[in-house]
Amino acid sequence: MEAVDGYSTKSLVENIDYLQKACTPVSVEYTSGVNGLGQTIGVWANYRAEIDGKLEETENVFDGTRLIYNPKGVESDPKARWEYEGTEAYWVIGGEYVFRAYYPQNELNINKRLSNAKTLIIESNTASTQRDMLLAYNKVDTKQAGWTITDPVKLNFRHAMAAMLFKFKFYDGSDGVFYSEDAITSCWMEVDKDEAFAITGYMIYGNGTDYEEGNIQWTKQYSPIAGYKFYHWSNTDGIPFKNQVPPAGESWGSKYQQIAVPYSKVGTGAEDVGAEFTKQDGWVMTVPQESTGHLKLCFTTKSGGDAVFTVTIPKKTGTSL
């Protein structure tokens, strides 16, 4: 693995170090006292070669093979610590490989019937699976001068999901002495118009025609009806507001602020509401899409009891909200 390229939204996998930790088996120590997370990288690869004057192609040659990271592997070469797991994989010299890699392999639903090296199709349900999605592409010609079978394939991963983080703030008006001990006790999203926000969709990686990387495109699959609660989280004790002072070199005048971040603590209650949304330190992964102006953030507080407060996410009118 070479890198996890820049991202416009915060998400689970921020850099190559975290990807290494994520793909280290849970039984293996990644750093002192910290074990891996047990995720894996999947690779869809086609092999193309000219045989008796005819171009032959074999699809998904690494089916069943996964990539894991072994921090206790070859010390002299960190790249060599990426190892195969599952079905053994062999290189064949004399043709061209087209790679489309994806993470996390064990939690993504690949449409194998329609996918190929020109187009990788992945179904995502953000209501049930909250995971960052990374994609990478490369093409390797084993006939190229200077290429050797020991050369690692470079995979520069890109983020395919969007992410949202909600921070609830209030400010002290004078001396930084807070009189409130309130907390956010639940949080969810609704739409006030049917089909206004997609929570599931198909991701299409590649243009379906060329053996080139292509773009990442999303097709909306399912949107909740108006009034339906989704991305629902609750916690009996709630997320208390925490005192926060201005960063060095920044002034808020005489005001300090308190912040509470929902989705950052495991849900509680009979249904363990929201446990799925606590795996990203408060970030909620979602299908990339423009805001239509019909999406609402709803929440309750400890002091407010059953009273529901709502905030409408503004319609996208330019390059940013």
Give the side-chain half-sphere CA count within 13 A for 136: 20
Would residue 56 count as lying in a domain? yes
| pLDDT of 3 | 45
Q: Which residues pair with 94 in a beta bridge?
A: none
| pLDDT of 100 | 93
**How many domains does the structure of the chain reveal?**
2
Would residue 33 count as lying in a domain? yes
Same-domain pairing of 185 and 203:
no
Same-domain pairing of 114 and 177:
no
Same-domain pairing of 156 and 259:
no
Same-domain pairing of 103 and 68:
yes
Same-domain pairing of 180 and 109:
no
What does the alpha-carbon distance between residue 153 and residue 61 come to, in Å, rounded to a whole number?
A: 15
Q: Enter the tokens of residue 65.
A: 């093979």
19-45 pLDDT tens trace: 888 899 999 998 878 888 899 999 999
Residue 135 belongs to domain spanning = 3-160+199-221
68-108 pLDDT tens trace: 999 988 776 777 889 899 988 778 888 999 999 999 998 88
Same-domain pairing of 149 and 252:
no
What does the alpha-carbon distance between residue 20 and residue 37 come to, in Å, rounded to a whole number?
A: 9
| pLDDT of 244 | 62
**40: closest CA among 104, 83, 99?**
104
**234: closest CA among 273, 199, 178?**
273
Would residue 41 count as lying in a domain? yes
What does the alpha-carbon distance between residue 266 and residue 275 come to, in Å, rounded to a whole number?
A: 5
Same-domain pairing of 125 and 247:
no
Same-domain pairing of 148 and 274:
no
What does the alpha-carbon distance between residue 52 and residue 208 come to, in Å, rounded to a whole number?
A: 27
Q: What's the pTM value of the predicted model, to 2 decimals? A: 0.82
| pLDDT of 321 | 38
Low-confidence ranges of the chain (pLDDT < 50): 1-11, 319-321
Would residue 317 count as lying in a domain? no
| In the chain, alpha helices (H) | 16-22
Q: Under 8 Å CB-to-CB from 122, ≥6 apart: which residues?
A: 102, 108, 109, 110, 111, 133, 202, 203, 205
Q: Enter the tokens of residue 164.
A: 């949202």
Same-domain pairing of 33 and 138:
yes
